[in-house]
Amino acid sequence: MKIAMVSMHTSPADRPGKGDAGGMNVVVLESALALAAHGHDVDLFTRSAGAEHAETIAPRVTLRALDTGGGIVRKHDLPNLADAFGEQLERAALTASVPYDVIHAHYWLSGLAALPVSLSLGMPIVQTFHTLAAEKNRRVGDGDRPEPERRLLTERYLAGQVDAIAAVSRAEVDVLCDAVGASAERVWLVPPAVDAQRFQPGPIAARLELRNRLGVLPEQGLIAVVGRVQSLKGQDLAVRMLEHLPDAVLVIAGDAVPGDERYLESLHDIAREVGVEGRVRHIGSLERDALAQLLDAADVVVVPSRSESFGLVPLEAAACGTPVVAARVGGLCESVVDGETGVLIDGRDPEEWADAVDAILDDTELALELGLAGRRAATRRDWEDVALELETVYRAAVRARA
């Protein structure tokens, strides 16, 4: 097949944790690479912040950046560029040497741009939302802006119009059917996987070297929290938790989301307020190999997100043999097996979170059991499985359109 994958607001080649890039970028790129390995040709369409360009990033995988809007555009302004991006996408489809068999839109903005192209050209379209406004608004934090009505209405419209929806978790399936109005017959479950070769337990010497570079003393525990630095990811809870863990260091990996830099500043304010400033390290976003090293070196990975459709970081941590303490929300209940690969926490009491982390830090045998179980669970599924499942979804979408 020839597949047009659309990720309008963020390039699949961008580093996760930087700008608006996150787990979705990993899912899009890894899916494309796995599909290419099965003999499909995949074009990845994204918006260029500069000149329009195309580059081959792997055999059978081409990144095509379309010049729309020019320069950096805030995420909340991107819906206004969807029509122009869609026009560029349609032009690219019409001039392609081989017609596309299917469009796969990632995130609601991509669907907003790609659905008119699908209708105009009679081309099947698959939608993956990754996050849903209905669920995010249920768990919006104090002082945070809820998702706009335009997004809510667009997601409902897309759910009723696309040929198929590839959902990333059972939790997302429930929201799609119960809150967004999607027809269950058109919803397919395609959870992400993990690269268990990149994310795996490494040499002890490498772990010790990284801990030393981070200024973690031998007697201190290393706690990592990974992701874009924004209220939705809940890093403030991780910082407050540290007050109750006097023998631990917290490493925050990720950059502030453009336009929300104040949240990162607030984390430093909280650290000073609770007296843990000297034990918090903010190291910014990491390349994938460096992230794997951090997850391997950590004693515990915490995921205090207010909302997650799936949560790729817990799976990557598990592949490294590192226990996870996560919020009992959304897809995190599927990427963390409570009591087996980690611990799920109800509520946002920092002391309760600290107790769960401390139990792992204080019990070497428990940490080992959780880590081994996590590694086993993470290696049961790889990106080839994702490619096979997407093939099934694409062919179903083609049949539905026919």
pLDDT score, position 384:
97
Does 263 lie in the same domain as 164? no
Pairing of strands 221-226, 248-253: parallel
Residue 156 forms part of a structural domain: yes
Does 208 lie in the same domain as 154? no
Place of tokens 């099965």: 38
Residue 186 forms part of a structural domain: yes
Range of the domain at 106: 2-193+382-401
DSSP 233: G
pLDDT score, position 278:
96
Residue by residue, DSSP assigns 339-365 as TTTEEEE-S--HHHHHHHHHHHHT-HH
Does 213 lie in the same domain as 171? no
Residue 175 forms part of a structural domain: yes
Does 221 lie in the same domain as 352? yes
Does 301 lie in the same domain as 251? yes
pTM, to two decimals: 0.94
pLDDT score, position 291:
97
Say what the alpha-carbon torsion angle 229, 43, 397, 402 is, to the nearest 10 degrees. 150
pLDDT score, position 70:
67
Sign of CA dihedral 12, 13, 16, 21: negative
pLDDT score, position 311:
87
End-to-end CA distance of the chain: 16
What the block records as the tokens of 384 is 């080839």
List C-alpha distances in Å: 158 to 88, 106, 169.
Answer: 20, 12, 18
Bridge partners, residue 63, by sequence: 44, 55
* Total domains in the fold of the chain: 2
Does 144 lie in the same domain as 130? yes
Does 252 lie in the same domain as 103? no
Does 387 lie in the same domain as 306? no
List C-alpha distances in Å: 271 to 115, 275, 279.
Answer: 45, 6, 9
Does 373 lie in the same domain as 307? yes
Does 226 lie in the same domain as 154? no
Distance CA(199)–CA(324), nearest Å, equals: 15
Distance CA(99)–CA(114), nearest Å, equals: 15
Sign of CA dihedral 388, 393, 396, 398: negative
Residue 199 forms part of a structural domain: no
Residue 339 forms part of a structural domain: yes
- Domain containing 338 — which CATH number? 3.40.50.2000
Does 170 lie in the same domain as 309? no
Distance CA(252)–CA(17), nearest Å, equals: 11
Provide φ and ψ at 166, rounded to 5°.
Answer: -100, 105
Residue 318 forms part of a structural domain: yes
Bridge partners, residue 43, by sequence: 4, 62
Distance CA(181)–CA(165), nearest Å, equals: 12
What the block records as the tokens of 352 is 């309760």
Per-residue pLDDT of the chain (402 residues; tens, 9 = 90+): 999 999 999 999 998 887 778 899 999 999 999 999 999 999 999 998 777 889 999 999 999 999 887 666 777 788 999 999 999 999 999 999 999 999 999 999 999 999 999 999 999 999 999 999 999 898 877 667 899 999 999 999 999 999 999 999 999 999 999 999 999 999 999 999 999 999 999 999 999 999 999 999 999 999 999 999 999 999 999 999 999 999 999 999 999 988 788 999 999 999 999 999 999 999 999 999 999 999 999 999 999 999 998 989 999 999 999 999 999 999 999 999 999 999 999 999 999 999 999 999 999 999 999 999 999 999 999 999 999 999 999 999 999 888
Distance CA(292)–CA(302), nearest Å, equals: 15
Does 370 lie in the same domain as 246? yes
Say what the alpha-carbon torsion angle 233, 237, 242, 243 is, to the nearest 10 degrees. 160
Residue 251 forms part of a structural domain: yes
pLDDT score, position 374:
97
Residue 116 forms part of a structural domain: yes
Distance CA(45)–CA(100), nearest Å, equals: 13
The helices-and-strands tally (H runs, E runs) of the chain is 15, 14
